[in-house]
Amino acid sequence: MEIGLRVLALIIDCGLCLGSSMLVMGMLGWMIEKLPVVRFLLVPVHFALFLAWPFVYFGVSTGLWGKTPGKFLCRLYVTDCRGCRPGVWRALGREALKFLTIGSGLGVIWCLFQILHHGITWYDQLCGTEVHYSPAADVKVPTPTFMTRWTRRRELSMAEAEAAAIGNAHQFGVLGNVLFETGQLDRAAGAFESALRKDGSNTPALWGSAMICMHRKEFELAKTHLGKLLRIDPDYKYGEASLAMARTLVALNDLKAAKLHLKKHLVKWGHPDATVALATILARQGDREEAVQILRTMLVEMKTAPVYHRRLNARWIGRAKSMLDELGKEKAV
């Protein structure tokens, strides 16, 4: 699937690059025609832009954001070997080699063969870059609040009607979730409170209340809700509640409790972000050897993890590699 998406992204980008180039060239041509006084300055600029525009379109967007518009639409992104954005110069070199490959007929066939059998092209190997695919669940495109409310207005109306008619903790919990997801935090907090008044052990309401408290930076109250939730269900949302507790303890600057909690958490849940958080605490407390050890262990485990899992956690893999470099430099000093 990824090779098809890469070809599709390239086709989209070529079309957009050509269209934007024609627009820019047309505007400059109009200026050259209407402003004969500065024609001798604009003509070289027109020619230079004509040659450089593909590199500007592909290289700058890939370097700064890790993706071109075509890659964004196809849920692809480019990183360096550390999982970070490649940077403009590295991206320009990558795109120049890619254009060279496309320009030669056999080069395209060779690159397709490399992607199919090795998952990486020769120019990515040379430039130290990688192309990743973000699953739909991992793509977080911000949607305007008014649009979310409009698209889910029927769902919200039904949840409000059921909460009013039946009035059990479950119905108020469902209403709170819909309100929270549509950005109506005050009303969502009220719905979760109503659910907890009817059933103090309602796990969705405890989770929703904790999320709202964390959003409002009311970490003490979030800690209370999460503590009760974890006593009822330590594995709630496959360890997400436990991870939220660790983040809350860090926000409260209770690093001792956060470290103990993260160590227990990582025994059962191998979340890479939890590993990075624990390593950060250890490094701050001066225990750099243990921080390096757990980061290296995590990176070894990620190498043998499924491709989907590695792509999903590319950000934390890159953060772990950067931390190892920083800790190595501090040790050398």
pLDDT, position 26: 82
Tell me which residue of 287, 298, 299 sits closest to 327, measured CA to CA: 287
Q: Which two tokens stand for residue 154?
A: 């029927």
pLDDT, position 140: 46
The proportion of the chain whose per-residue pLDDT surpasses 70, expressed as a percent, equals 90
The Cα–Cα gap between 58 and 101 comes to 15
Tell me which residue of 271, 321, 244, 272 sits closest to 81, measured CA to CA: 321
The Cα–Cα gap between 239 and 260 comes to 15
**Residues β-bridged to residue 132:** 77
Beta strands of 60-135 (E only): which ranges?
76-80, 129-133
pLDDT, position 282: 92
**Residues β-bridged to residue 129:** 80
Tell me which residue of 322, 3, 6, 310 sits closest to 138, measured CA to CA: 310
Q: What is the mean pLDDT of residues 78-97?
A: 83
**What are the φ and ψ backbone dihedral angles of 305, each rounded to 5 degrees?**
-75, 160
Q: Which two tokens stand for residue 272?
A: 């890479």
Pairing verdict, β 129-133 and 76-80: antiparallel
Q: What is the mean pLDDT of residues 214-221?
A: 93
The Cα–Cα gap between 77 and 285 comes to 35
Say if CB 265 and CB 280 are below 8 A apart: no
pLDDT, position 135: 58
Whether the pLDDT of residue 86 is over 50: the answer is yes
Tell me which residue of 316, 333, 328 sits closest to 84, measured CA to CA: 316
Residue-wise pLDDT tens digits, 286-318: 888 999 999 999 999 888 877 667 767 877 888
pLDDT, position 64: 87
Residue-wise pLDDT tens digits, 45-77: 777 877 888 888 998 899 888 889 998 888 888
The Cα–Cα gap between 316 and 108 comes to 33
Q: Which residues fall within 8 angstroms of residue 281, CB to CB, at 6 or more apart? A: 250, 255, 258, 259, 262
Hey, where are the domains in the chain?
2-138, 270-333
The 10 Å CB-count burial string (b at 16+, else e) for 162-179 is bbeeeeebbbbbbbbbbb
pLDDT, position 144: 60
Whether the pLDDT of residue 256 is over 50: the answer is yes
* Distances from the Cα of 20 to the Cα of 65, 67, 88, 170, 237, angstroms: 19, 17, 20, 52, 46
pLDDT, position 231: 95
Estimate the crossing angle of helix 105-118 against helix 2-34, to 10 degrees. 140
The Cα–Cα gap between 166 and 45 comes to 70
CA torsion angle 238 241 245 247 (round to 10): 80
Residue-wise pLDDT tens digits, 139-177: 444 456 666 777 788 899 999 999 999 989 999 999 999
Residues in the chain: 333
Tell me which residue of 236, 240, 188 sits closest to 212, measured CA to CA: 188
pLDDT, position 196: 95
Residue-wise pLDDT tens digits, 182-207: 889 999 999 999 999 999 999 999 99
Residue-wise pLDDT tens digits, 313-327: 877 888 888 888 887
pTM score, whole prediction: 0.60
pLDDT, position 164: 93
